Amino acid sequence: MPEQLRNFLTQHQIHEVECVIPDMTGVARGKIVPRNLFLNEDDMKMSKAVLMITVNGEFADYERFVGPSDPDMVCVPDAATVRLVPWAIEPVAVVIHDCQDFDGRPVGISPRAVLRRVLKLYEAKGWRPVVAPEMEFYLIAQNNNPHEPLRPPTGRAGRREVGRQSFSIDAVNEFDPFFQDLSNFCDAAELGVETLIHEVGAGQMEINFSHGDALDLADRVFLFKRAVRETAFRHNIFATFMAKPMEDEPGSAMHIHQSIVDAGGQNIFSNADGSASELFFSYIAGLQKYMPKATAIFAPYVNSYRRLSRFTAAPINVRWGYDNRTCGIRVPNSGPEARRLENRVPGVDVNPYLAMAATLACGYLGMVEGLLASPPMSDSAYDLDYELPRNLGDAVEALAECAELAEVLGSDFVPAFCSVKEKEYETFSRGITAWEREHLQLHV
């Protein structure tokens, strides 16, 4: 057991430890164990099939990807991830684990292993990605009937938001008690949250993270989602990270800012004279070529494609432009040292490990293949043709057929991920929606 973990548990007088792994959907799976048991065992065993659970709780074709005997895997604690669970009644810690086979090799279908794999490819080139995610989400009234539309919650003035309050300080202040508790939880868990704004939708908020290492940021986003939901429960409201939770409101994204530095910490997107480098434009070109094939990772559910629509002010293609928010790829105004780009395609419903891995994989392929980017867009890209898949079925097919992404993300991972998505799509397709009953029942 790493000394760092022992010291943390002793310092904070921890009673129990949440030993967690993120599955394909980004759900925290694992075990809660007493402190003494955690300290006396070097690792945790868990069924490898856990990684193949769909968002609705079914198992995808796990026999194909983990074996017919439903074998265990070894879950090894990452000491760098230990944090307090600040909403727990008594002192509880959470530790994110890596998934390994018994011979010590990473389990290739583990989302954390996928991101580690991509980062090792960068490391082999002498590069290190720097990322910063922006998280949009909705606060909603508690709704225990899934057949009823979601609504904004009641604020401290006793009223619901009925009009959009973009960037309104007063609209955020309506939920001051919630955000104060959330801020305290994030501080206690050392999540590195920076700014808070009210986004365009009614009850829609955005939290920005400080930039840093991709794996660390994925861990923080993974834990942040739990913190937001737990805070909402304590204030008798819900928080949702659905990509498009309300019919007449905009969708929620997880925009990913990214740059690449070399071993000396210099931004490889900039030349010595401050101009943009060839690698910068090749990185953009990689996103343009491969993001349509990786859309199933950036838009992993049927609901995700309600956001990626011409009618929702979300990207529908992979055009790029300088400070152009209508494009799927935006280059913010910044100096040469901070030259970066922003992937605006992912919804906030993504698995953060996989979304970051796929983004970096697309850019990596662009650089190693020496691809050329299209000219930048200065007008609106909303009126151009769709370049992204229009539904989950098409997106899964595109990912399954992309040998280049499978090479970077892992030949085990891509078919396993597609299997989970196909199972979810199949389950969804069996249901009949209210729209179908309302408009087809008596009219066709």
Q: What is the mean pLDDT of the segment spanning 121-145?
A: 96
| In a shared domain, residues 246 and 100 | no
Q: Round to whole Å and give the CA distance between 46 and 33.
A: 13
In this structure, is residue 113 part of a structural domain?
no
Block residue for tokens 């299997």: 419
pTM above 0.85, yes or no: yes
Nearest to 276 by CA among 221, 244, 322: 322
Q: Bigger pLDDT: 69 or 162? A: 69
Domain boundary among 41, 71, 105: 105
Residue 415 has phi, psi (to 5 degrees) of: -65, -30
| In a shared domain, residues 325 and 191 | yes
| In a shared domain, residues 344 and 377 | yes
How does residue 118 score in pLDDT terms, banded at 50, 70 and 90? very high
Share of the chain above pLDDT 90, in %: 82
> Over 70: is that where the pLDDT of 163 sits?
no
Q: Round to whole Å and give the CA distance between 231 and 191.
A: 15
| In a shared domain, residues 43 and 167 | no
> Over 80: is that where the pLDDT of 262 sits?
yes
Which CATH number fits the domain that encloses residue 276? Answer: 3.30.590.10
Which CATH number fits the domain that encloses residue 26? Answer: 3.10.20.70
| Residue 351, helix vs strand vs coil | coil
| In a shared domain, residues 83 and 124 | no
Q: Bigger pLDDT: 412 or 171? A: 412
How does residue 157 score in pLDDT terms, banded at 50, 70 and 90? confident
How does residue 255 score in pLDDT terms, banded at 50, 70 and 90? very high
DSSP string computed for 273-327? TSSBPHHHHHHHHHHHHHTTTTHHHHS-STTHHHHSSTTTTS--S--EEET-TTS
> Over 80: is that where the pLDDT of 399 sits?
yes
How does residue 214 score in pLDDT terms, banded at 50, 70 and 90? very high
Query: Average per-residue pLDDT in the chain?
Result: 94
Write b or e for each residue in 222-247: b if 16 or more Cβ atoms lie within 10 A of its Cβ, otherwise e.
bbbbbbbebbbeebebbbbbbbbbbe
Q: Round to whole Å and give the CA distance between 78 and 19.
A: 10
- Residue 96 corresponds to which amino acid? I
The pLDDT tens digits for 291-331 are 999 999 999 999 999 999 988 889 999 999 999 999 999 99
The pLDDT tens digits for 362-390 are 999 999 999 999 999 999 999 899 999 99
- Which residues fall within 8 angstroms of residue 260, CB to CB, at 6 or more apart? 122, 127, 128, 129, 130, 267, 268, 269, 279, 283, 363
| In a shared domain, residues 128 and 101 | no
| In a shared domain, residues 91 and 161 | no
In this structure, is residue 444 part of a structural domain?
no
| In a shared domain, residues 272 and 125 | yes
Cα 434–428–414 angle (5° rounding)? 150
Q: Record the tokens describing residue 420, joined without a space.
A: 């989970």
The pLDDT tens digits for 199-212 are 888 889 999 999 99
pLDDT at 38 (0 to 100): 93
Domain boundary among 73, 105, 137: 105
The pLDDT tens digits for 28-54 are 999 999 999 999 887 789 999 999 999
| In a shared domain, residues 96 and 124 | no
> Over 90: is that where the pLDDT of 198 sits?
no
Q: Record the tokens describing residue 144, joined without a space.
A: 């225990």
Q: Where are the alpha helices (DSSP H) in 174-277?
A: 176-188, 214-234
Q: Are 405 and 361 in contact (CB under 8 A)?
A: yes
Question: Which sign, positive or negative, has the C-alpha torsion 338, 343, 349, 354?
Answer: negative
How does residue 62 score in pLDDT terms, banded at 50, 70 and 90? confident
In this structure, is residue 437 part of a structural domain?
no
Range of the domain at 129: 120-411
| In a shared domain, residues 226 and 303 | yes
